[in-house]
Each structure stands twice: as structure tokens, then as C-alpha cells.
Amino acid sequence: MVPRFGRLSARLVGALAHYAGFAPARQGGAHAAVAALVLVFVLVLVLSGAPAAADDIAPLPPAPVVDADKARLGERLFHDHRLSGNGTVACASCHDLARAGIDGLARSVGIEGRLARRNAPTVFNALFLPTQFRDGRAATLEAQIDAPIADPNEMDTSWPDVLARLGADPTYRDAFARLYPDGLTVAAIRDAIATFERTLATPDAPFDRYLRGEAEAIGPEAKAGFALFRTLDCAACHDGPLLGGRRFARFLQDRPQPVDPGETWTPDRGRARLTGRAEDEHVFKVPSLRNVARTVPYFHDGLARTLAEVVRRMARHELGRDLAEDETRRLVAFLETLTGTWRGRPL
């Protein structure tokens, strides 16, 4: 904490000096008074021991209690290939729950082998995200579902067609009639899938147990890695209980060479695709780091294959710092403690 805080006060004091230096002589009195006030504020902050961590890193919150029958129906829909135009692709095709909620591909493969625009993020803990998608373009889990259904490169269908296919199955008609006043509707399908997704929390990672006071839940390398994560300021972006998910940041990089022969890379404008604004070029949601050891490959284009590589890139491009070998090792050891459990088993 001390170095992070030291830096903050150094910045404030620097700003203060700058400000004082520019104060015109005839207004010196007023400026001196303001400067004195700011100085007092800084001193109070320093002496009060200051808030320990502005990054809010904390154990994963518990999943909400949901209607178990709707969640079961949602789980069936999540695995149902009839949600795609030609009956070959389910949500689970790209978000395999036995595989930490991803497909392991650089970019997902949808209907008829077409390539999705980006690397599939995990659906685990998506319930805790304030926005969905790598550019945050959907506000809720319910709203997110419309995109893969309609995307010609993913499920390539339409809601009327999905309703017709599911409506032909009496077991679905009965299940929806039992659980929803209007029976099988688009809103009910969205609600059932989102209800299931709200059960996909992964609590009890070794890191959570450590934060709750089990000192031996993570090893010394990981502890040193966590300290580095804060002192280097990774936590300025990867903050909160998810270690990410709440902010957007420009992804700065020297593009890695394509990993496989023949693999091509097209620049992804990130949020600028939505907003058209220059300041949003290559701006992406800072991803959650929960279960990150299980969700290789990395980044929106899936072109990074090891955590060591990712950590080195992050330090160099987001923080302007080249890591020593042992720093990289410690950060990776820390990231490996973020694997939680689902249905009683580690992901």
C-alpha cells in the first residue's frame, strides 16, 4: 500500500508545486491559502493511514438466489442446438461449461465454420459484470442473448424461427407454460437463460480463502505476486471482486506475430466501433481475471497463449515497465490462485 500511496501524495505535492509556481504575484495571498489547504488535506490523508486499498479487491460475492426451475430450463436452452439456424450451434458450443465457459479457440467458430469477430470470454461470473461483451455494448445478460442469436457468424437465426423450432417440442411448451404466465415467448427464453447464467458464480478460489483469513491458502510466490499486482498498479484497471470488468481501457500493444501460419490479424476498433469516437479506438473492457489460468488463449483476439506473455505485455504496454523474470513468475503464480469452484469442483 505504501508505495501506491506514496506515489499519490507525490503526485499531489507535485501538482501543488506546479500550481504555486504559476501563481501570479498579485494573487499570491489567495493562492497561498488554497495551497495551504491542499497541503493540510494531503497531510490528513497521510496521517490517517488512508484507505488501505482503493481497488476494492475482495472475495467474490455469493451468487443470488434464483428460481431453480427457471435455471434448469435455462440450462437446457443453453445447451440446445435448436437455438441456431441450422441446428448445429448452442451457447455451450462456444461457452463449454466443462472448459471454464470458453471454447479454447483464438476466435470462436459459429454456424458453418464461420469465424466470430472476437475471442469468446467465459460465461462464468458474467452475472457480476456491469456490462456484457468486450466493448460493453449490452447492459444486461438478457440483452446480451439477442446478439449471438442474430449474428450471421454465430447462430444466424431470428427469434420467430427460434420460437417456431422450440414450440414444436411439447416438452418445451409444457415447461414454459408451467413457469411463465405467457408461456413460450422471447422474453421467457431470455429470462430462463439469464437465470441459469446467474448460477454461474465460481466462489472459493484459493485467493478468496486467503482474503478471508486462511493465510496458507496461497503460497509465498502468489502472495508476493498479489503485492506486486498492487504496487505495479495492475489493480488500477483490474479492480473490485472480479479483478476487472468495471472499467474500459485502451489496449496498447505491439501486435504479436500471428501464432499459426496463415493466421491473419485485423485491427479491432473496440468501443470506437460503437461510438465512432477517436478516443475509443482500441478501447476494451478490462476483463475480469477470475479463472484466468483456465481461459487460454487471451485478449479480445485470442492471440496470446501464455499468462507469462500476457503479464509481460500488460506491464510493458499499460504500465510502461519491463518486468524482471521473477516478477513475471510471481504475478503468474498469483493469477493461478484465482480459479474458483462450480458445483463443488474447481473449474
In the complex, the residues that contact ligand HEC under the rule CB under 6 A are: 83, 89, 91, 93-95, 108, 110, 116-118, 120-121, 123, 126, 129, 132-135, 141, 144-145, 148-149, 154-155, 193, 232-234, 236-238, 249, 251, 284, 286-287, 289, 292, 295, 298-300, 310-311, 314-315, 318-319, 331, 335
To the nearest whole angstrom, how small is the minimum distance from the Cβ of residue 85 to ligand HEC? 11
| Residue 42 vs 309, nearer CB to ligand HEC | 309
| Least distance to ligand HEC, CB of residue 69, Å | 18
Closest distance of CB 8 from ligand HEC, Å: 15
Type and span of the H or E element at 10: helix 2-22
Whole-angstrom distance, CA of residue 286 vs CA of residue 246? 7
CB of 277 to ligand HEC, least distance (A): 17
Give, in order, the Cα–Cα distances in Å from 281 to each of 132, 238, 303, 320.
18, 20, 19, 19
Instruction: Find where cell 500476457 sits.
Output: 310
Contacts of 19 (CB under 8 A, 6+ apart): 31, 34, 35
**Grid coordinates belonging to 261:** 501460419
Q: Given the complex with ligand HEC, which of 210 and 251 has the nearer CB atom?
A: 251
Q: Which of 154, 197, 318, 336 is catalytic?
A: 154
320 Cβ contact partners less than 8 Å away, ≥ 6 residues apart:
none
| Smallest distance from ligand HEC to CB 44, Å | 28
Residue 314 or 347: which CB sits closer to ligand HEC? 314
Nearer to ligand HEC, 175 or 304 (CB): 304
**Is 154 labeled as catalytic in the residue annotation?**
yes
Gyration radius from the chain CA atoms? 24
Q: Which residue has the cell 504496454?
A: 317
C-alpha to C-alpha distance for 139 and 121, rounded to whole angstroms? 16
Among candidates 74, 88, 76, which has minimal Cα distance to 157? 88
As a whole number of angstroms, the distance between CA 69 and CA 199 comes to 12
Nearer to ligand HEC, 29 or 276 (CB): 276
Active site residues: 154
